[in-house]
Structures are given as structure tokens and as C-alpha cells.
């Protein structure tokens, strides 16, 4: 990915650290560059409050639809973000 200043990043997945890592691997395997936001905070907080501390997988805006399609075809769709960011 280029710098954040050059490309807008959008959220395509929210879940715990382990789920986000799996989704990131899935997207990487399909040639979609992505990143995980809030990974460290999610890992620490999720041990104490499992429903708090989601981490987010983000992609460039241009890859949003492709990423959502790959995620939907391969995961539980309740964690995908179909709206804005």
C-alpha cells in the first residue's frame, strides 16, 4: 500500500485479534494488500473483556469490494463491514 496520505483506507472486517489475522492472511493470499488496526490494544483488552477491543482489517478504498467479496465467500459474514468505513 502507498502512504495513508495517498490512499484512503476503509475497514472491511472487525473481530478479535485471531480472526483479524486469519482474514488478513486470506486477503494477502488473494493479492489484496491490507493492514490490521488496533492489534496490540485488542490483544491486551480482549483477555479481560472479550466483547471489547475489536481489531480492524483495512484495505484501500479501491480494493474494498474485492476484499468484502473474498471475506464473505470464506468467513462468517456477521463480522464484515458492508457500510461506509
Q: What is the number of domains present in the chain?
A: 1
Per-residue pLDDT of the chain (85 residues; tens, 9 = 90+): 554 456 799 999 998 888 999 999 999 999 999 999 875 554 555 555 555 668 899 999 999 999 999 999 997 656 555 555 4
Examine residue 42 and state whether it is found in any structural domain, yes or no.
yes
Q: Is 83 a domain residue? A: no
Q: What global pTM score does this model have? A: 0.70
- Pairing state between β 55-60 and 9-15: antiparallel
Domain assignment of residue 64, yes or no:
yes
Within a domain: 2: no
> Rounded CA gap, 54 and 36, in Å?
11
- Can you tell me the distance from the alpha carbon of 40 to that of 71, in angstroms, rounded to the nearest whole number? 23
Q: What angle do CA 79, 80, 85 make, to 5 degrees?
A: 120
In a domain, 85, yes or no: no
Residue 19 is part of which domain span?
9-77
Residue 38 gets the label, from left (phi > 0), alpha (psi -120 to 50) or beta, of left
Is 38 inside a domain boundary? yes
Tens of pLDDT along 37-61? 875 554 555 555 555 668 899 999 9
**What CATH number does the domain containing 65 carry?**
3.30.70
What residues contact 31, with CB distance under 8 A and at least 6 apart?
none
Amino acid at each position: 500500500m502507498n502512504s495513508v496520505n495517498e490512499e484512503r483506507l476503509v475497514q472491511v472486517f472487525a473481530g478479535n485479534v485471531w480472526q483479524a489475522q486469519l482474514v488478513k492472511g486470506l486477503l494477502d493470499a488473494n493479492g489484496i494488500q491490507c493492514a490490521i488496526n488496533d492489534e496490540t490494544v485488542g490483544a491486551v483488552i480482549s483477555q479481560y473483556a472479550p466483547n471489547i477491543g475489536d481489531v480492524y482489517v483495512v484495505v484501500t478504498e479501491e480494493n474494498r469490494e474485492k476484499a468484502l467479496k473474498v471475506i464473505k465467500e470464506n468467513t462468517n459474514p456477521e463480522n464484515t463491514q458492508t457500510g461506509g468505513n
